[in-house]
Amino acid sequence: DAQLKATKLATSAQYALSEAPYAQRIKYVATVLNERGLSPEFLSEWLAWLLAKKISVEQMRRLDRRTSLMCVEFRLSVPHDLGLDKVRAELIAISSAHQTDVALQPDNVFRRQKRLVVFDMDSTLIQQEVIDEIARATGIEEQVAAITERAMQGEMDFGESLAARVALLAGTPVSVLEGVKQRLVFTEGAHYLCRALKSAGFKLAVISGGFLPLAKHVKTELGLDYAFANQLAVSADGSVLVGETVGPVVDAARKAELLEVIAQAEGIAIDQVVAVGDGANDLLMLAKASLGIAFNAKPRVQEQARARINQKSLANILYLMGYSESEASELQLLG
């Protein structure tokens, strides 16, 4: 009975089932998450799917402490010949049908030994796209939006579209950037997540296809360790933008490269790296990390990323990393 399953999970911090056979099995952890509560209908379909795939549930652990059941971690024993890439579409379908995220990860020594988290900035750590905010402040929003749309339709690559949009900013007073900083809205849970991770000893970075002055501001506000983004060229007297960038463009390839550079500088294995982003420009970075999370991402990104979160709060990332709500609260006290 689905309601009974939900009740058992909701009233017990840990609910263990019979130990699954180990021969020819691979261990995985699945985290299921819905901020509005896990419905009996979802739990019924999820457990039926596991049964159909001959996936055994070894243990279930409730991670949240809300009134309604929100997040459960399942320790799974999976047949060795079950190609998880083949079932990705099925998991996405189940997730979409119930607005409930399902994240599947290998249950190995690195799952709870992550040490570096790299974030995209626009529409990830903050709710806006910074170039749109600059364009709005200077009255060229429609022109910039038209170029952005062409890029989204595949008519222009990122570097080409960035150059075209930045060219429209020529003559914009540098002071406009200060106003944009004040209008930035951080994504729900961003501060909570970063405080918890810093208290746990993580290194944190923002790698953005946006602009460095804004990325540095976000770095300061959230207590991050690194900030990389595109550098806007300014006039000789430093008063206006000249409509160009300086140095390497932070595109998809550069993002993945910078992730690896930070990991090497900190002596951190790629197996200990998490990346979070929402756009096509983040795909290579998400693929490079051992745990790539598509956060409220574009459909193409959700289809390709190893994990998806389609909830409001960034703090939900802590669940995917194995932290319970109680543990996350303890980390807040240390921050």
Residue among 191, 199, 201, 172 nearest 268 (CA): 201
- Classify 330 as helix, strand or coil: helix
Q: Given 122, 132, 225, 278, which residue is catalytic?
A: 122
**Interstrand relation of 14-16 and 71-79 (parallel, antiparallel or unpaired):** unpaired
Can you spell out the DSSP letters for 179-235? Answer: HHHHH--BPTTHHHHHHHHHHTT-EEEEEEEEEHHHHHHHHHHHT-SEEEEEEEEE-
CA distance 246 to 261: 20
Residue among 118, 133, 301, 295 nearest 211 (CA): 133
Tokens 């099995």 -> residue: 25
Q: Given 64, 101, 120, 278, which residue is catalytic?
A: 120
To the query of whether residue 120 is one of the catalytic residues in this protein, the response is: yes
Q: Find the angle CA(122)-CA(208)-CA(110) to the nearest 5 degrees.
A: 100
Q: What is the 3-state secondary structure (H, E, C) of 126-143?
A: ECCCHHHHHHHHHCCHHH
Beta bridge partners of 240: 173
Q: Find the angle CA(259)-CA(264)-CA(270) to the nearest 5 degrees.
A: 60
To the query of whether residue 157 is one of the catalytic residues in this protein, the response is: no
**Catalytic residue list:** 120, 122
